[in-house]
Structure 1
Amino acid sequence: MRLRDLTDDLARSIAFLSRFPVPERHFVGFDGRLVRAARAFPAAGLMIALPAAALLSLMDAFNADATLSALLAIGLLAIVTGALHEDGLADVADGLGATHDREKALTIMKDSRIGTFGGLALILNIGIRTAALAALIPSLSPSGMGLTVLAVAALSRTAMVWHWQSLPPARRDGVAASAGVPDADATRLALVSGLGAGLVLLAIAGAGLLPTLVSLALSAAFLVLFGRSIESRLGGHTGDTIGAAQQITEMALLAALALSV
């Protein structure tokens, strides 16, 4: 495992998951496949969430309104990622909500227009994440809030890799199919590093052992149920379901932490 390879994988993961500019030297000879680079998704999540974590910590330190602080942090995250994962969640909600036919659902998910189910999913998603962060602010220090945002970012990107690797591609011409499926070594490294980073960051944040374990268990359950539903309805993953897996995990983690810390 060479440091150069790890650096390239991290840069490629950041470029794939966000709008951060990345030097071209990291893409020399790169064919667009993320079979190995997916191992860096948890670390990329930390980098991507850093501005939002810093903003939330700063606003909390100056005793800004909790709801406003949480909403601004969520908004900054969406700007940094280009709302990539939110778009996936909305597309999945539209596809699965509109029909039980697999091919029709996949066609709807490829449509860039948003429907009723997608709009409702986005409203609930932003509302739950904002309310959960706002509810955590009185219980954690400003630095603890920032570390919690980072922990959730790493854990939810780990969930993306697990969902991606555990299901076959639903179609052969999509973004996820062209990017390949993370190999076994990349998946193991993502799971170990993401879970380890999340646990350490939540411990330092002061979330407490029991709330942390309960939150991890609940979010894992939601992720598994989502995966089984996607496999049953679509036959496998798409780029949209991978993004939706991140959002569902983030919502579940934040909501569980807010209820248990």
Structure 2
Amino acid sequence: MRLGDGLRLAFGTLTTVPVPAPRVIDRPVAGIAMVLGPVAGVPLAAVAGLVVAGGGALGLPALAVAALALGLVALGSRGLHLDGLADTADGLGASYDRTKALDVMRRGDSGPTGVATLLFVLLVQVGALVGAIAAGHGIVAVVIGVLAGRCTLSMSCARGVPSARPSGLGATVAGSVPRLVAVAVGVVAAALAALAPGLPWWQGAAAVVAAYVVAAVLLARCVQRLGGITGDVLGAGVEVGVAAALLVLAV
């Protein structure tokens, strides 16, 4: 029952895929949903891979194909992670007062810091995917990149990571994933990526490691600066993780 509720919560929160509402939403179910984040990302990664394959078959410019593929991933997640990235950047760039920073993040509008960060991260993602397409492994790259970013959700929600607020998504999922489970998600993801066709064995695994390292740096900064995670911080971790993974795969 909890597994089914967790799966529904993962798809309902992280994608636009229509699913029934979970019957129960508590911390165990929230933890399962974060662990299953990559599973919810599979349809998005599959669509992106099909776009890259179709664009290549039609001879479309790599830049247009990369932008379309990642744009559909953003639409398929309702822009949730991109919004989180912009809000997190605004919060970290705001006053050193923690309460004011969290208030900036709660407003929902984007300031210059958020807009610039969003633009630069998207440029990195698209540019890196263009490089992977040119190298001949764009389909594999976009699938690994999309899923690797979502694998970091379990790390950001591991036991010991506090919530920055007493309520909201961050409070529901903070500390909800056992540490061993969070580690296992990363190890399994790296092992599967190492088996990806068309890549040297090390490159797929290195892409997953890069996603985790960059997301972990952001997570540590947010815990230090904001006192913990929010839903926006989770989304920001996903997006920077995707960018880092795609950069490695562009080689």
TM-score w.r.t. structure 2 length?
0.89
1:162 to 2:155 alignment: yes
Q: 1:154 to 1:188 in 2, by over 3 A?
A: farther
1:18 to 2:15 alignment: yes
1:28 matched residue in structure 2: 23
Contact 2:190–2:208 at 8 Å: present in 1 too?
A: no
1:211 matched residue in structure 2: 203
Q: 1:244 to 1:63 in 2, by over 3 A?
A: same
* 3-state SS, counterpart of residue 116 of structure 2: helix
2:176 matched residue in structure 1: 182
Contact 2:52–2:138 at 8 Å: present in 1 too?
A: yes
1:120 to 2:116 alignment: yes
Contact 1:148–1:201 at 8 Å: present in 2 too?
A: no
Could you tell me how far apart the structure 1 residues matched to 2:187 and 2:58 are? 31
Q: 1:9 to 1:190 in 2, by over 3 A?
A: farther
TM alignment of 1:67-216, pairs within 5 A: 67-140=63-136, 144-165=137-158, 166-179=160-173, 181-184=175-178, 188-189=180-181, 191-193=183-185, 195-197=187-189, 199-201=191-193, 203-216=195-208
Q: 1:162 to 1:121 in 2, by over 3 A?
A: same
| CA positional deviation for 1:40 | 1.3
Contact 2:132–2:141 at 8 Å: present in 1 too?
A: no
Contact 1:174–1:238 at 8 Å: present in 2 too?
A: yes
| CA positional deviation for 1:155 | 1.7
Contact 1:6–1:40 at 8 Å: present in 2 too?
A: no
Question: Of 26, 49, 56, which aligns to 1:53?
Answer: 49
| CA positional deviation for 1:118 | 0.5
Q: 1:223 to 1:193 in 2, by over 3 A?
A: closer
Could you tell me how far apart the structure 2 residues matched to 1:173 and 1:29 are? 17
1:234 matched residue in structure 2: 226
In structure 1, stretches of 5+ residues that fail to align are none
Higher relative contact order (CA 8 A, sep 6+): 1
Identity over aligned pairs, percent = 29
Could you tell me how far apart the structure 2 residues matched to 1:92 and 1:241 are? 6
Could you tell me how far apart the structure 1 residues matched to 2:75 and 2:38 are? 19
Contact 1:93–1:118 at 8 Å: present in 2 too?
A: yes
Query: Residue 146 of structure 1 aligns to which amino acid in structure 2?
Result: I
With 219-228 and 198-207 compared, the bigger mean Cα shift is at 198-207
Q: 1:47 to 1:59 in 2, by over 3 A?
A: same
> What CA deviation, in whole Å up to 9, does each residue of 1:24-59 have, x standing for no partner?
5xx234458513332211211212322122112211
* 3-state SS, counterpart of residue 127 of structure 1: helix
| CA positional deviation for 1:222 | 1.7
With 162-171 and 66-75 compared, the bigger mean Cα shift is at 162-171
1:39 to 2:35 alignment: yes
* 3-state SS, counterpart of residue 169 of structure 1: coil
Contact 2:34–2:157 at 8 Å: present in 1 too?
A: no
